Structure 1
Amino acid sequence: MTAPQPPAAGVEALYEDADLLVLCKPAGLLCVPGRGPDKQDCLSARAQQRWPGALIVHRLDQATSGLVLMARHIEAQRRLSHAFAERQVHKRYQAVVQGLLGTVGGDWSEIDLPIAADWERRPLRVIDPVQGKPSRTRWRVLAQDTAAQTTRVELEPVTGRTHQLRVHLAALGHPILGDALYADARTQALAPRLLLHAAELRFAHPAHGGACAFAAPAGF
């Protein structure tokens, strides 16, 4: 494996080879360009400055930090996109949520609540048992702060709906700290950013099929 590279325009490369890149996206940076000239700075644009032809495979919310996988060429993108679609890429996140949730060291639990777009309040999503798409999240407690009344959780999305982790935790009554979309004003104010981080990625290499595993600690 290639040694970790220094940041490229504020983006850290944990790994690179001829087929893929593993980058660590900072919170607040878009994955792809948005609408308008003020939303052109993004992870893909910064990556392409250093690795021409780099292609997005999946995305994180702008407010979420952590590991993002990119392809170096179209065939790698095709294979990695297929792996994501077939749920062959395993992702784990860490978050800090409001309130004391579960028991430290307990078993994995699962949230199974269907998610739909809230068309009147886009880009928000809602739990909708009629129109919602099946959505599943596994979670377990890593630590609790009884003084602050917060819980650090590890999350494993089984499905990949937009805002899934944020919506599911809010539906449990434990929104993520700093969440400007799904938390009340008090919970938003408890952190300067959304405390959600993509901490682990595991997948088969698109060229040779070997096991790849990467981790990046949360900065909160």
Structure 2
Amino acid sequence: MSVVTLSVTEDEAGIRLDRYFRRHYPHLTQGGLQKLCRTGQIRVDGRRVEASTRLEAGQAVRVPPIPVAAKPARDVPRPLDERLVREIRGMVIYQDAQVIVLNKPAGLAVQGGPGITKHVDMMLDGLRDGDDPRPRLVHRIDRDTSGLLLLARTPGVAARLAASFRGRDVHKVYWAVVVGRPDPQAGEIDQPLARLGVGPGAITVAADRTDKDAQSARSAYQVLDSAGRRFSWLELSPLTGRTHQLRVHCESLGTPILGDPKYGGAAAHPSGFTDQLHLHARMLDIPHPAGGRLIVTAELPAHMRGTFRDLGFTAGNTPAPVRRGG
């Protein structure tokens, strides 16, 4: 074994050093990596680095001798039931060489957890073609929320898209049916939030600004239509990214989202309507990794289309995906 030097590729630009090593040396533990960084055995362009350092294309990564057990492993697709392959491929509404966009159904979790036996993450090998890398999740939406979910085809693309989400260079639009009609009918909700508890039972609550656990949370909203004062169709845009932000912000307006199983209490469950969350990730406008911007819109799920018909709301046609510039 000897010291080797790896060159960071264009596709790997932007990813953290620990994720870079997880890709090339998947058996090296995080603790082992941190020790090699701390002792200066791993260097980037000759300089000491931390595991969280983000890499740039063309940089030279010094790799010290690593045990044979930590040699790169071939990325082998996980065996997947053919029904799951068909299901995940049926969710695809846009794909190109860099990204894949899904229209996730309500009720399907994005990742695993206690009591969750089926989720998007376990199905991602069904989107591979040949020896292509396994697609990576870029962001998350709630299990009960339907709509747009963005995937990256490679680690480098995932890193660049994640940076766009952190930098707020992504515009997200959600549609919701709420109980009641907000007053005023358009504006910005500036209500800090806090998480209480851990695991599946954790909830998000409106918090006082002086609360040490409070996090800033802002959402823009606009009433697109209403059925008297009983129900409204809202367009929502989260300006920050807190867990269950839109659901708690709608509740704080006094207009909980119809069918919300966690927030809004009995008011969110009037009789005569499908008892499912009426929140849909409708549109994503993102900087495309290859240049320009990609705008993708997702068709409403069946339960929301039925409610729209019952309330007289007209959604109109769903625009086809479009990439501008680049």
Q: Within the alignment, does 1:139 sit opposite 2:217 as a pair? A: no
Asked if the contact 2:222–2:235 (Cα under 8 Å) also holds between the matched residues in 1, the reply is yes
Q: 2:114 aligns with which of 17, 35, 47?
A: 35
Q: 2:268 aligns with which of 166, 187, 191?
A: 187
Shift of 1:42: 1.0
1:12-27 residue pairs with structure 2 within 5 A? 12-27=91-106
**Which residue type is aligned with residue 109 of structure 1?**
G
Greater RCO (CA < 8 Å, at least 6 residues apart): 1
**Which residue type is aligned with residue 187 of structure 1?**
A
The 2-side partners of 1:119 and 1:24 are apart by: 30
The 1-side partners of 2:266 and 2:183 are apart by: 24
Q: 1:178 aligns with which of 232, 252, 259?
A: 259
The 2-side partners of 1:111 and 1:8 are apart by: 40
SS in structure 2 at match of 1:9: helix
* Structure (1 or 2) with the greater strand fraction: 1
Over the aligned positions, Cα root-mean-square deviation in angstroms equals 1.9
The 2-side partners of 1:191 and 1:183 are apart by: 16
The 2-side partners of 1:115 and 1:178 are apart by: 21
Structure 2 gaps, min length 5: 1-84, 305-326
Q: Within the alignment, does 1:203 sit opposite 2:286 as a pair? A: yes
Structure whose CA Rg is larger: 2
**Which residue type is aligned with residue 226 of structure 2?**
Q
TM-score (structure 1 length as normaliser)? 0.87
**Which residue type is aligned with residue 27 of structure 1?**
A
Number of the residue aligned with 2:144: 63
**Which residue type is aligned with residue 165 of structure 1?**
L
Asked if the contact 2:174–2:280 (Cα under 8 Å) also holds between the matched residues in 1, the reply is yes
1:66-85 residue pairs with structure 2 within 5 A? 66-85=147-166
**Which residue type is aligned with residue 32 of structure 1?**
Q
Asked if the contact 1:83–1:89 (Cα under 8 Å) also holds between the matched residues in 2, the reply is yes
Number of the residue aligned with 2:69: none
Shift of 1:186: 4.4
Q: Identity across aligned pairs (percent)?
A: 37
The 2-side partners of 1:192 and 1:180 are apart by: 8
The 1-side partners of 2:197 and 2:113 are apart by: 19
Number of the residue aligned with 1:117: 195
**Cα deviation 1:66-117 (Å, max 9, x = unaligned):** 00000111001100111111111110000000112247xx6x4000000001
**Which residue type is aligned with residue 169 of structure 1?**
C
The 1-side partners of 2:264 and 2:183 are apart by: 19
Q: Within the alignment, does 1:216 sit opposite 2:298 as a pair? A: yes
Number of the residue aligned with 1:46: 123
SS in structure 2 at match of 1:91: strand
Shift of 1:45: 2.1
Following TM superposition, where does structure 1 have runs of at least 4 consecutive aligned residues deviating by more than 3 angstroms?
none
Number of the residue aligned with 1:126: 205
TM-score (structure 2 length as normaliser)? 0.60
SS in structure 2 at match of 1:81: helix
SS in structure 2 at match of 1:177: coil
Structure 1 gaps, min length 5: 1-6
